[in-house]
Amino acid sequence: MPDETTTDLNNPVTKYPKLSPPQQDQPEPGLDAKLEPRADLGEKSYQGSGRLAGRKALITGGDSGIGAAVAIAYAREGADVAIAYLPAEEEDARHVLEQIDAAGRTGVGLPGDLLDLDYRGRLVDDAVEALGGLDILVNNAGKQIFAEQLEDLDDDQVEQTFQVNIMAMFTLSRAALKHLPAGGAIINTTSIQAYEPSAHLLDYATTKAAINAFTKGLAEQLGPRGIRVNAVAPGPIWTPLQVSDGQPKERLPTFGHDVPLGRAGQPAELAAAYVFLASEDASYVLGETLNVNGGKASP
Ligand code: NAD
Ligand code: MG
């Protein structure tokens, strides 16, 4: 969290402190409520200006980290927001739903496991029913469990990572097409890992490359229908994903130190990218991957 007395908001290097988080471990899925130090979801900083007035959005993984920052920003921009998350994340979800409520918008919690095909199959319809329509789908839920060697990475994990990270995008996007009007948007969360795979994140990185291809191909397909599909590729962002076996514990104290800005990003620093891609300001932007990564070179 930035200290208002010492933070220079104009300098991206010092806008947030360079974190050296203590080694810590949470069971998957991790909770923002237990993250040490806590991440900035934009609760104190994000200011809306009506850019998503009257829109209705579904955000998977909207309870914590990047998805939570996006949910808060969307509500402050005037959207009603449904968030999907695992039942174990109810505490984080409550915090985000309170923020949506405080913004004067409708917030809906839709807990469930995307590995459960029944839940996955009805999630979009449930969101539509609760919100009264759907204009924006943010496919943001992600699973990241490190494995140092291929021999440590069993097929069950590979299967689950693919199911949550990319297979669910096919199901949810297909279901959304029954509802998204012309002017609607789909935004997928990919990663710097799509271009620079870490040796210990083979399954995860492979899904993120697939998400880029999915995004570009679907954008071409849906462009003529007036539905824009884009992606955001975060770099190292301080979220519960990293402390629930997303990274080896010993890597946490230097997490994000290797980018040109020299620090990990905060979820709040991602929100504006997702707002832009959802908004009419991006009317001519399709099939784009917007990199928000502290300065790492990307294609
Ligand atoms: P996070 O842990 O806060 O969010 C991930 C969310 O995914 C969880 O909150 C959970 O609700 C959801 N999820 C995981 N497994 C699920 C399942 N089986 N069923 C339903 N939901 C499930 O972490 P985050 O870093 O904010 O992650 C959000 C997205 O950002 C992910 O797609 C992640 O891959 C991507 N990303 C993160 C980073 C980073 O450094 N944190 C970098 C690049 C990309
Ligand atoms: Mg979470």
How far is the C-alpha of 235 from the C-alpha of 72, rounded, in Å?
20
How far does the centroid of ligand 2 lie from the alpha carbon of residue 238, in Å? 12
Hey, how many other C-beta atoms are within 10 angstroms of the C-beta on 219?
19
Domain contains 251: no
The predicted pLDDT at position 257 comes to: 98
The predicted pLDDT at position 299 comes to: 87
The predicted pLDDT at position 252 comes to: 96
- Do 65 and 39 contact (CB within 8 A), yes or no? yes
Structural domain including 128 reads 43-233+266-292
| 287 C-beta closer than 6 A to ligand 1 | no
Total domains, the chain: 1
Say which CATH number the domain at 275 has.
3.40.50.720
Is 85 annotated in the active site?
A: no
Mutation probe of ligand 1 site: the residue of 31, 239, 263 with most atoms within 8 A of C-beta: 239
The predicted pLDDT at position 10 comes to: 82
Domain contains 252: no
Give the pTM: 0.97
Domain contains 125: yes
Q: Return averaged pLDDT per consecutive 10 residues of the chain, 299 residues in all.
A: 59 95 95 97 98 98 99 99 98 98 98 98 98 98 98 98 98 98 98 97 98 98 98 98 95 97 98 98 98 95
How far is the C-alpha of 235 from the C-alpha of 291, rounded, in Å?
8
Domain contains 11: no
How far is the C-alpha of 251 from the C-alpha of 238, rounded, in Å?
13
As given in the structure block, the two tokens for residue 52 are 């998503």
Q: Which of 16, 195, 204, 274 is catalytic?
A: 204
Domain contains 3: no
Backbone angle region of 78, left / alpha / beta, with phi > 0 → left and psi within -120 to 50 → alpha: left
Domain contains 184: yes
234 bridge partner residues: 292
- 3-state percent helix, strand, coil for the chain, nearest multiple of 5: 40, 15, 45
The predicted pLDDT at position 74 comes to: 99
Domain contains 2: no
Neighbours of ion ligand 2 (CB under 5 A): 29, 63-64, 89
